[in-house]
Amino acid sequence: QFLRRQQVLQLYRKILRAIREVPAEQDRRYLKDWVREEFKRNKDATEEDAIRMMITQGNMQLQELQRTLKLAKS
């Protein structure tokens, strides 16, 4: 459980760092609020499979955001 918590916190930090790269202030604020709300909504989840699935989904969304930002810069 401790390791899972570390994974979740690490994912949260990575997402927030990636959001800093978003050029538009309004989009940054929207994404930050959305991420906070999603993590708060799921903070009481205890089922291992569900948590694992949410972490996987979060990593996929992070990769998509990073890809989009990379395309926008080029």
pTM: 0.90
Tens of pLDDT along 2-54?
899 999 999 999 999 999 999 999 999 999 999 999 999 999 999 999 999 99
Residues spanned by the domain of 61 = 1-73
Please tell me the distance from the alpha carbon of residue 24 to that of residue 45, in angstroms, as a whole number: 33
Closest CA to 61 of 44, 39, 43: 39
Tokens 């569900």: give the residue. Answer: 50
- Among 6, 16, 2, 18, which Cα is nearest to 55's? 6
Q: So what's the pLDDT on residue 1?
A: 79
Q: Which residues are CB-contacts of 55 (< 8 A; sequence separation ≥ 6)?
A: 4, 7, 8, 11
As for how many domains the chain has, the answer is: 1
